[in-house]
């Protein structure tokens, strides 16, 4: 059935609005952290895959980094192992790390690869262990207690932080016309595996790839002001101000700091967007309004 005149004009407007963005970002690298509702809702999964495939078709080089916390939790529950969290981080003993590698490097990673391939892409899945891509070390943190004279060092097992990233494997895959899909698992010099926060991995990969954009999908509309209105068009100084006055707090703090660090280390812009919106990635990249919070470094304002 042909479009009526009103619908046709809307389609034409969308296409003409997207054209300058397509021209601007063709040949550029965009790193997308994929997680939240977008990973479990079937309609959102399909729209995400189509977004990534379209980006590749128009000449952009997308790199996908994914999480998988709920999937890990579900398998641990089926195995009769209770998940324990300290300050939002999963305590990961050796047995749990085996499950993490099975879920992230196997089940979730291959599902995303398959989804992208079904929608017309050529995707390749890998973990940070492949080619020694992500060097990691054990993450420890200090816990202050009123009854203690000094801070307690907390060990949460195989939870890591990024030491360095070797981008050669990602560059080789992308230059061959494939879409890299990366699980946030790193390895130390002794061969010990670590589960790393996917936002942090995506940010570090964006930095070493000198990416045009870092996009973090969330289950919120972005950064919100104290009236729950979405903030956008921010620079690093403004974001730091919102952190200092308590506007940005709780679970959004580590994600926001990850975005800030990326733009302060060469990434042109970082975006915290609502992954519950179908085609959120395309709307953020190819339209004037977008669907989340855009953060620029001071040099890119």
**pLDDT tens figures, 161-219:** 999 999 999 999 999 999 999 999 999 999 999 999 999 999 999 999 999 999 999 98
Domain count for the chain, please give it.
1
CA distance 282 to 18: 9
User: Model confidence over 70-104: pLDDT tens digits?
Assistant: 899 899 999 998 888 877 778 898 999 999 999 99
Residue 43 lies in a domain: yes
CATH number at residue 164: 3.40.1160.10
CB 60 within 8 A of CB 26: yes
Residue 14 belongs to some domain of the structure: no
Residues in CB range of 127: below 8 A, 6 or more apart: 101, 104, 105, 109, 133, 134, 182, 183, 185
Domain assignment of residue 288, yes or no: no
* Global model pTM greater than 0.95: no
What local confidence, expressed as pLDDT, does residue 135 receive?
97
Range of the domain at 220: 28-282
Q: What was the pLDDT predicted at 193?
A: 95
In a domain, 6, yes or no: no
State mean pLDDT over 55-62.
Answer: 95
Residue 295 lies in a domain: no
């Amino acid at each position: 059935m042909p479009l009526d005149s009103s619908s046709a004009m809307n389609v034409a407007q969308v296409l003409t609005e997207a054209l300058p963005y397509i021209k601007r970002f063709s040949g550029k690298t965009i790193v997308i952290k994929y997680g939240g509702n977008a990973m479990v809702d079937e309609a959102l999964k399909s729209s995400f895959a189509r977004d990534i495939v379209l980006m590749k078709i128009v000449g952009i080089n997308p790199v996908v980094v994914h999480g998988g916390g709920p999937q890990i939790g579900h398998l641990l529950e089926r195995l009769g192992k209770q998940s324990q969290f300290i300050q939002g981080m999963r305590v990961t003993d050796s047995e749990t790390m085996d499950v993490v590698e099975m879920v992230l490097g196997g089940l979730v990673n291959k599902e995303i690869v398959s989804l992208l391939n079904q929608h017309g892409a050529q995707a390749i899945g890998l973990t940070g262990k492949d080619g020694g891509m992500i060097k990691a070390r054990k993450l420890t943190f200090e816990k202050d207690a009123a009854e203690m004279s000094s801070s307690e060092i907390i060990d949460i097992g195989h939870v890591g932080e990024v030491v360095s990233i070797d981008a050669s494997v990602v560059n080789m895959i992308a230059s061959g016309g494939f879409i890299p899909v990366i699980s946030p698992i790193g390895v130390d010099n002794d061969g010990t595996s670590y589960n790393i926060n996917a936002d942090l991995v995506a940010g570090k990969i964006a930095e070493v790839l000198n990416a045009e954009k870092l996009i973090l999908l969330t289950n919120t509309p972005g950064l919100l002001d104290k009236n729950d209105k979405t903030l956008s068009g921010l620079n690093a100084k403004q974001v730091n101000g919102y952190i200092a006055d308590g506007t940005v707090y709780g679970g959004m703090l580590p994600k926001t700091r990850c975005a800030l660090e990326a733009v302060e280390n060469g990434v042109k812009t970082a975006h915290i967007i609502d992954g519950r919106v179908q085609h959120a990635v395309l709307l953020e990249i190819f339209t004037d309004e977008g669907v989340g919070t855009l953060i620029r470094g001071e040099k890119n304002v």
